[in-house]
Chain A
Amino acid sequence: MKKAATKFVSVYWFVILFLVAGGIYSMVYIFYSHPFDVRALEAKTLAYKIADCISWKGEINLKIFNKSGDFQRDFDLLKECGINFNVEDEYGWDKQEQYFANASFYGVFDIATNHELSDKNGKIGELKAGNSRLFDDCQTYGEKYKYVAKCFNKRFYAVTKSGRQILIEIFTAVRKTEKNVK
């Protein structure tokens, strides 16, 4: 009888041991299976990269506004800024681009004449790259919209070589939901 009890206690200890070990394993698994959402940081980094490509030490890239201050529409944002959007082809991302970048250029002169800057009159031009459908995703906020793209939007000021004052608005969006949200 005593022998049977000792055997039972040993089994019981093993069960508890496995239970605790399984619990610790589950805790670690639960914690690390939730991915960090780096999309906002990625969108910000992308915007920084584009801003550096557009303006350096306060002056706009000569390939965007030439010596006489004319906007160059054929400027290739990706090629000239050394950006590659097709880096991952998991989850069918090669068919649907996961990034969007836009740089809009406005003339300062329009402020002086009280023109609405968002108006077409104030806009000199814009440079785009990537999936423009991601732009709409960024008009939504809140927890239930965490599966849509994360965006970053900033404005700054720069001057062309010819001295023309330009206002620049940069907008970037990163989707990659499958890897960042669970």
Chain B
Amino acid sequence: MLNKRADIGETITWVIATVVVVVILLLSLYASGLVAKYKKLSASEGKVDTGNSLIILGKWSTMQIFSSDLFLNKTELALKINKNYKQEILNWIKEKNE
């Protein structure tokens, strides 16, 4: 009789352990699905957001290209050549770029 009770107790332990393993696996599967859904590339910074870590794309020079505003640099260079109507030009550019 005592032996039978011990067997039942042990079986229940195994069943609960199995349920815990399955629940943890299902939760992990759901979490990886969520992380996969929200991993994204940030076009403005040249970085990859994998959901749990941030990877910088390429070398520093590549990074610089994506982090600096090439269009603003071009405008600044052109303004050095001819800065007539500077404020109007900057306002027109700002209208779209903001």
Chain A contact residues, CB within 8 Å of chain B: 12, 16, 19-20, 23, 26-28, 30-34, 36-38, 40-41, 43-44, 48, 51-52, 55, 57-59, 108, 111-112, 117, 152-159, 163, 165, 167, 169-170
**A117 is contacted by which of B35, B70, B82, B92 (Cβ under 8 Å)?**
B92
A16 cross-chain contacts in B, Cβ below 8 A: 18, 21
Q: Give the number of A-B contacts (CB < 8 Å).
A: 114
Contact B81 A58 (CB under 8 A): yes
Contact B39 A36 (CB under 8 A): yes
Chain B contact residues, CB within 8 Å of chain A: 14, 18, 21-22, 25, 28-29, 32-33, 35-37, 39-41, 43, 46, 48, 65-66, 70-72, 74-75, 77-82, 84-85, 88-89, 92-93, 95-97
Q: How far apart are the CA atoms of A23 and B84 in the complex, in Å?
A: 66
Q: Of A19, A37, A41, A170, which is in contact with the most chain B CB atoms at under 10 Å from its CB?
A: A41
